[in-house]
Each structure stands twice: as structure tokens, then as C-alpha cells.
Amino acid sequence: MTSALFKLRLLPPFRPLLLPPAQQMSMYQPTYIDPIFKKEQQQVLTETGEASNLAHIPIKSARNNDTCSVFHDNTVSKFTNYIMRKGNKILARELLEKTFENVKRIQLERYNLAEGDEKNKIETNPKVILHRAIANSRPILQLTPIKRGGVKYQVPIPITENRSLFLAMNWLIQAAKEKERKVHFPEKLAWELLEAASGQGRVIKRKQDLHRQCEANKAYAHYRWS
């Protein structure tokens, strides 16, 4: 009995493997890698010869929204998720499709009324207009409260790419929800996308106001490192 206790005392203490929160609840072991379902990425792996190195590594199952279709757009999919409320993704897709339909109708009407070289300047693809609207609405800086000496200062800091993308999409959706004269959401969102794509509208003004506030508080920028 004493020898067994002596051996237990010599054993090192048990230390559990610390994993990120996303992997702690995962059904896959840390050795599993994410699936590569894009044909372009698979072709690159085949050309570089890395596909043979991944042949014997366990791979996770692809999610139900992962697709290799040429019509898939990550920005449109993410924008649909931001529109979605209470998990009703079918309704969110219908709203976005009606929005694209309204954008197409408005742009075709402008195209038919235009004359000469003005027709070449009118974009009729709703997805291209969505990408332009999001790119024009993305902020570069943001304000964050930092406490120094018992006082909180609004300090301008550079914004990350994911955060700026989220703010641009969220601002567009919030502007469309501010209904005027009982306008439906798809119609309002269509006009917000068209205005933002042309560098106008409330979302562009909101981004410019944020940049002006950052410019006004640039004297506190050194508090970011202190």
C-alpha cells in the first residue's frame, strides 16, 4: 500500500489540454482540419503538390451552407445572415431577393431613359451594386473609450477589416429599417444600396460623421499606447 502511494506521489500533476472555446465543444479532435470545398483552392493544392500531404490527415465534415457553386458569393451570404432575425433565414433570403429585384428594376428604368454614353455608366447588376455600397460605407477609424486618470477619453483607433465590414452592413440594414411613409423593407434597402453605391445617402453621412469625430479627438490618440 505504501509503495503504491509513493508511486502516485511521483506522478506529474494532471494538466488538462487548454483549447480555444470553439474547439472545447467540438465533436472533432484538434488534429482534424477544415474542409477545402472551393474548386479554385483544390486546384492550387493539386498544382503545388500539397494535396498529397493532406491525403492522410482527418478532415471535418463540410457545413450545410458550404458550397462550390460558381454563383455563391460570401458577401451576399453574410449580408443575408445579418438581415436574418430569430433564425428565419428563408424570410431573409426572400427580402434580399426582392431588394435585388427592386435594384434591377430601378437601374433598368434609368438605363432606358439614358441617352448616349450615359448608358455605359449605369450598372444593372445588383450584386455589383451591393459590393460597391459596402465598400463605400466601410469606416477606417473608430472611437473607443480609454480611462486615464479617472476620466474616459474617446480615442480614435484603426478598425479591423471584419469590424468595418460588419459596421457597413449593419448601417445599411439599420437605415433601411427606419421606414418613412410605410415603405417596405426591400424597397427602402434598395434605395439605400443605390445611394451608398454612388457615395451618397445616410450611411455615407454616418461614416463621414464618425471620421470627423475621430479627427476632432486626434489629440487623445497617444492614450492608445500609454
* Chain position carrying cell 431573409: 92
**Euclidean distance between the first and the last CA atom of the chain, given in angstroms as a whole number:** 59
Reading the block at residue 100, the C-alpha cell is: 435585388
Distance CA 141, CA 166 (A): 13
Q: Which pLDDT tens digit goes with each residue over 14-44?
A: 455 555 665 566 788 888 888 888 888 889 9
Domains of the chain, residue spans: 19-72, 79-226
Average pLDDT of the chain? 86
50 phi/psi in degrees, rounded to 5: -80, -15
pLDDT interval class at 185 (50, 70, 90): very high
Task: Give which of 39, 41, 101 is closest to 71, Cα–Cα.
Answer: 39
pLDDT interval class at 3 (50, 70, 90): low
CATH topology of domain 79-226: Ribosomal Protein S7 (1.10.455)
DSSP 8-state class, residue 49: T
Reading the block at residue 126, the C-alpha cell is: 445588383
Distance CA 36, CA 59 (A): 9
